[in-house]
Structure 1
Amino acid sequence: MNTVRHRSTLLAIAGTALALSLTACQSDSGTKSSSAASPEVTVASSPAAAASKAGKGTGTFDAAGSTGSAGSAASKGSAGATGEQVSASTPVCTAGDVRITAARQDGPPYTHIVLTAKNTTGHSCRLPGFPHIQFLESHKQDVPAVAKSKPATPVVLSAGAPAYALVKLSDGGVDEDTEPVSAFSVMLESDSTVIAVTAPGSGGIAVDPAKALTGYWTPELRNGADDF
């Protein structure tokens, strides 16, 4: 009887151990399966939760999606965007903001004059495009602009700062059909107000309407021979 009872006890212990082992395996398998599936479930059902997990170690995401340490790079990007917004919000120069004068170009080619637009206000303004010039009453078309002279970035004039535009009057030939001009009109690209500009020199300038060209406004004085 003792032998039978001892065997029964051993079988019972072995059975219990086997049951515990199977339970542990099933529990571990279930945990791994659940863990492997959780990222998909999180991404699909809760983007905010996925973003929160992704933010660990690189900063804490707030409701707007900004971060702490990783947000420093985003902050630099925001600063750049803000700079562009500030530039874009700078008012466009109007006829009342600038004073336009004309002078002969100092040096060859002598067929050019220089227009200077000086910001006379106490604030910055943007001067887009080129001057819209009409030299003669008999020629109502604006003087064509030379695309090559267009600056790479917008021209922003701080208070008191100038911008320049080179203007070609003729080819300089003795047989050209030129006409004398003592004053001419200029309009800004952003304003239809006509600005009267006095031509340089006591005798004015000689203009061939068929050959006249204008450059874009630029922050530096350029040589007309480089562009046209």
Structure 2
Amino acid sequence: MRMRHIRLLAATGTAVAALALTACGGGTGTEDEGASGPTAARTDATKTAGSASTGGSGSNSGTGGSGGSGSHGTGGGTAGSTADGAPVARTHAPGAQPDTSAGHSTKGGSAGGSVVLCNGANTTVTAQPLNRPLNHLLLTVKNTGGRTCELPYYPVLRFDGMQWVPQADRDTQPQAVVSLAPGASGYAGVLLSAADGSGTGGTTGHKLTVAFQGYTPNSSGGPSATPPLPAKGLYYDSSLKVTYWQQDPGAISSW
């Protein structure tokens, strides 16, 4: 009787141990049920978010899929276009340092070859005093070379041994760099002196030097030009200033 009681207790202990093992997750009980619940939901949500962000196979991958490789994806979608979708006139990146020597190209150009900078080596420059507006001078630059040339910014003027540089009227800055095909001309206006006499330090200049800028402000664009002046010279004072280069003289006719 005693042996039978011991065997019964042993069998009962084995059954309890097996049940405890199952309840503690030693098999595939409670823990597995939990894995197919919240954890599985989080995994599905992650997959869904991943598909949406990459424009996978949903509506984002169609014609409206800019969320993928368009402008919001790589950031390069429309980097070369204008905000309104129209092409812009050519501009130049700050810091660019082109080869400014005559005959050397600065970038791909027109049918006439590579585009170069306009300067005293490939142009002729004239300085024409104007009766209207009063005390004004018109600079004309004609491309005499065989390639299209460009006139960035404005002319840098110096009368005789003048030690200061006339400033440009920023209200005359054009939308694009002036580009001259062979034989074409560009223009700039010069205010020599104040009509009301408010200028100071007035003097007469007998030699005018016109310097050309490169594609960065105040950089050299190549050789200067010295257009002939009237024999009596030109009177100027502290009001001396210039316009930006223009494609059309009408843009500065009333300046």
Question: Displacement of 1:192 after TM fit?
Answer: 5.1
Question: Displacement of 1:150 after TM fit?
Answer: 1.7
- Which residue matches 1:149? 172
1:73-113 deviations in whole A, cap 9, x for unaligned?
Answer: x99x57747955965456452423332211122x4123111
Gaps in structure 1 of 5+ consecutive residues = 1-29, 67-73
Matched, 1:100 2:125: yes
More helix by share: 1
Q: Percent of aligned pairs with the same residue?
A: 20
Q: How does 1:177-188 map to 2 (within 5 A)?
A: 178-188=202-212
1:121-164 deviations in whole A, cap 9, x for unaligned?
Answer: 33333311110000121x22122222222223332223332211
The CA distance in 2 between the partners of 1:51 and 1:166, in whole Å, is 59
* Secondary structure at 1:130 match in 2: coil
Question: Displacement of 1:46 after TM fit?
Answer: 8.5
Matched, 1:169 2:174: no
The CA distance in 1 between the partners of 2:154 and 2:191, in whole Å, is 13
- Which residue matches 1:126? 150
Matched, 1:115 2:135: no
The CA distance in 1 between the partners of 2:156 and 2:234, in whole Å, is 18
Matched, 1:194 2:194: no
The CA distance in 1 between the partners of 2:184 and 2:149, in whole Å, is 10
Amino acid at match of 2:224: V
Alpha carbon RMSD of aligned pairs, Å?
Answer: 4.1
Q: Would you say the 8 A contact 2:143–2:181 is kept in 1?
A: yes
Q: Would you say the 8 A contact 2:89–2:175 is kept in 1?
A: no
User: TM-score with structure 1 length normalisation?
Assistant: 0.59
The CA distance in 2 between the partners of 1:85 and 1:194, in whole Å, is 26
Gaps in structure 2 of 5+ consecutive residues = 1-35, 71-75, 93-106, 110-114, 215-220
Amino acid at match of 1:109: P
- Which residue matches 1:218? 246
Amino acid at match of 2:125: I
Q: How many residues align?
A: 180
